[in-house]
Each structure stands twice: as C-alpha cells, then as structure tokens.
C-alpha cells in the first residue's frame, strides 16, 4: 500500500517504520527530523529488536507526496487545525485516512473535512518516545484496535488490519470504535492527567496507595460516562482493574503529555479532557474528578 504518515513523531515514525519494513511504500511528512532522516535514514530502538531503514522517503510539504492510498495521522491533537493544510494534498478518490491519535473528536473533524466514508480510527496501546532526530524509541506494548468511523467500508478496515498484522503489529478490528476510544480514555485521563500534574511516571502513581486508589476512582468515573454514550459494547467496571494491571507492567513510563509539559509544548487537553467532560455532561454524567484534572492542567499549560 502507498502510505503517507502525517505527524511523524513517536507514534507515526514507529508504525510507519514497521509498515515500510514489511514492504509498503511509506512516505513520511517530516519537520524536525527531515534532515536527519533524509541523510541517514530512520533508526528504531525497540524492545522487540532494533532495526534501521537506510532509505526513507521524506517530504517537507504534503504537495511533494501527492495522492496516496492511506494517510496515517499521528499528529498531536493540538495540531488538528492543520488537518486541511497537511492532508488535503494527499487525498484523491481512493484515499483513506486512519487516525491513531488519542482522545475524542478526531474522526469527526476528519469526516467533516474529507468525507466520513474514508475515515478509519484506531487506538494505540503503544509506549513510544522520540529520540535524537532520526531515532524513535519503542519502550513497550504496541497493540492497536481499529474501527470504521460511520460509513467507511468494513472491507477496507480488514485490508488495513491485515497490513498492520503483516508488519508485526498486534492489530484487532473492533465493531464499536466509540467504545474503543472511551476505553483508551480510561487510561489516558487518569495517567496523562496525574503524571503530568505530579511530574511522576506511571509506576510511582501505582506504588503509592493513595494515588493508585485515585487512578481507580477516575477510571470508574470515565467508565460511567462512557456507558452513558449508547455504546454497542459497554465497558464493564472490571475494566478499571484490567487497566491497572496493564499499567503495572509499564514501569517508569512517562506519558506523552508529561513529556509535552517538560518540553513546554501545548497539551492535548481538548481531545482528552474537555471533550470527555462535555460528552459526559450532555448525557447526564458529571465527570467531577476529570473536570478538576482539566482545570489544573489548563493552569499548568498556561504557565508553559
């Protein structure tokens, strides 16, 4: 498949590299890493084994890439106002768009701009960070769950899922993308929020009894809001315990939002916090703890 990666940071570089290694024709739209990747290729340092792609197709502007079959979106959600500028030049009649970004509202905005029939969404249970230009670090996990947004064809979803599996990614197709998105928020809201506010990695929150209990309470609050959204596949309360156990295996992982704070970038507050709080309120569930995290993060974000 011909693939363009828009948002070639930790997530985009990692999955894009796996897809290229499996034989797909991948072009990365690059900014910070353009010179390093053009000159020396892309290095993946991975818990599954390091590898290097010596020849990588790199572009600085989407117009250099032109129409492609699949656009893989790995932008931070605070850059979603660049969708039109970065993605429109890549879209033709037979182009599909897959966003693996976190949070709510990404598929909706893509559908508004480019048509719902071509939009796929997914959640990535990946722990990846950027290294020096031209290097990405895969620290853990990597499973993705893909679903169709609205009327995108199921056959396309299957084709994309098969392609990810052939690249070595544990990729599952889900019937209810909305449920998958909320399941991911059950992790992102407590951990992105608390790790960023407390400047602490995941394991420190989990080994302290008070913060572990707070994480669980926030997870249950998010599950209650999720289940008020009319999901085809409601989220059981036990999912919180499952996520705690999954997180116990992460060790001293620093969520991407904590790194954004450290590096004084904007935070993904709208997609991960504001939209969840608004969706909860609209369906009669007040997300009080999430709302408090959001307010504190807005304070922190304004200080950056």
Ligand X SMILES: NC(=O)C1=CN([C@@H]2O[C@H](COP(=O)(O)OP(=O)(O)OC[C@H]3O[C@@H](n4cnc5c(N)ncnc54)[C@H](OP(=O)(O)O)[C@@H]3O)[C@@H](O)[C@H]2O)C=CC1
Considering the complex, state which of residue 16 and residue 89 has its C-beta at the smaller distance from ligand KPL: 16
289 is catalytic: no
Nearest residue by C-beta to ligand X?
A: 9
Output 98 or 127, the one with its CB closest to ligand KPL: 127
Q: Rounded to the nearest whole angstrom, what is the least distance from the CB of residue 138 to ligand KPL in the complex?
A: 11
Q: What is the nearest approach in angstroms of ligand KPL to the Cβ of residue 214?
A: 17
Partner whose footprint covers residue 29, from ligand KPL, ligand X, none (CB < 5 to 8 Å by kind): ligand X
Residues forming the site for ligand X (CB under 6 A): 7-12, 29, 31-33, 74-77, 79, 82, 86, 100-102, 124, 126-128, 130, 256, 268
Please say which residue, 127 or 174, places its beta carbon nearer to ligand KPL: 127
Nearer to ligand KPL, 26 or 271 (CB): 271
Given the rule CB under 6 A, which residues bind ligand KPL?
A: 102, 125-127, 141, 187-188, 192, 255-256
Please choose which of ligand X, ligand KPL, none residue 187 contacts, taking the beta carbon within 5 to 8 angstroms, the exact cut-off set by kind. Answer: ligand KPL
Q: Are 30 and 54 in contact (CB under 8 A)?
A: no
Choose between 9 and 285: whose C-beta lies nearer to ligand X: 9
Cβ at position 222, least distance to ligand KPL in Å? 13
φ and ψ at 244, to 5 degrees?
-65, -40
In the block, which residue shows the tokens 């992790």?
187
DSSP of the chain = -EEEEES-SHHHHHHHHHHHHTT-EEEEE-STTHHHHHHH-EEEEETT--EEES--EEESSGGGT-S-SEEEE---GGGGGGHHHHHGGG--TT-EEEE--SSSSHHHHHHHHH-GGGEEEEEEEEEEEE-STTEEEEEEEEEEEEEE-TT--HHHHHHHHHHHHHTT--EEE-S-HHHHHHHHHHHHHHHHHHHHHHT--HHHHHHSHHHHHHHHHHHHHHHHHHTTS--SSPPPTTHHHHHHHHHHTT-S---HHHHHHHTT----HIIIIIHHHHHHHHTT---HHHHHHHHHHHHHHHH-
Cα–Cα distance, 229 to 179 (Å, whole number): 9
Q: Smallest distance from the beta carbon of 270 to ligand KPL, in angstroms? A: 15
Binding partner selected for residue 141 from ligand KPL, ligand X, none, CB under the kind-specific 5 to 8 Å limit? ligand KPL
**Chosen from ligand KPL, ligand X, none, partner binding at 11 (C-beta under 5 to 8 Å by type):** ligand X
| Options 76, 178, 184, 289, the catalytic residue | 184
CB of 99 to ligand X, least distance (A): 8
Residue 255 interacts, among ligand X, ligand KPL, none and using kind-specific CB cut-offs from 5 to 8 Å, with: ligand KPL
Q: Catalytic site residues? A: 184
């Amino acid at each position: 498949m011909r693939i363009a990666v828009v948002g070639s940071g930790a997530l985009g570089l990692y999955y894009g590299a796996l897809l290229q290694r499996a034989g797909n024709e991948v072009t990365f739209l690059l900014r910070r890493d353009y010179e390093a990747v053009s000159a020396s290729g892309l290095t993946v340092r991975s818990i599954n084994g390091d590898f290097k792609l010596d020849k990588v197709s790199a572009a600085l502007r989407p117009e250099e890439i032109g129409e492609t079959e699949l656009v893989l979106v790995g932008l931070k959600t605070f850059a979603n106002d660049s969708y039109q500028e970065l993605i429109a030049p890549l879209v033709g009649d037979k182009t599909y768009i897959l966003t693996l970004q976190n949070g709510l509202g990404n598929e909706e905005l893509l559908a508004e701009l480019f048509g719902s029939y071509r939009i796929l969404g997914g959640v990535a249970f990946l722990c990846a960070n950027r290294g020096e230009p031209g290097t990405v670090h895969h620290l853990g996990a990597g499973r993705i769950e893909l679903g169709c947004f609205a009327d995108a064809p199921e056959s396309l979803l299957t084709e994309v899922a098969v392609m990810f599996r052939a690249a070595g990614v544990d990729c599952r197709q889900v019937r209810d993308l909305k449920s998958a998105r909320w399941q991911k928020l059950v992790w992102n809201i407590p951990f992105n929020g608390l790790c960023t506010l407390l400047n602490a990695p995941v394991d420190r929150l989990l080994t302290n009894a008070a913060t572990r209990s707070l994480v669980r309470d926030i997870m249950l609050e998010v599950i209650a809001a999720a289940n008020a959204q009319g999901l085809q596949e409601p989220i059981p309360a036990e999912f919180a315990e499952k996520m705690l156990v999954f997180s116990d295996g992460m060790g001293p992982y620093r969520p991407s939002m904590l790194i954004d704070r450290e590096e004084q970038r904007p935070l993904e507050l709208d997609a991960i916090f504001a939209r969840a709080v608004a969706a909860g309120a609209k369906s009669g569930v007040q997300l009080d703890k999430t709302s408090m995290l959001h307010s504190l993060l807005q304070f922190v974000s304004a200080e950056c």
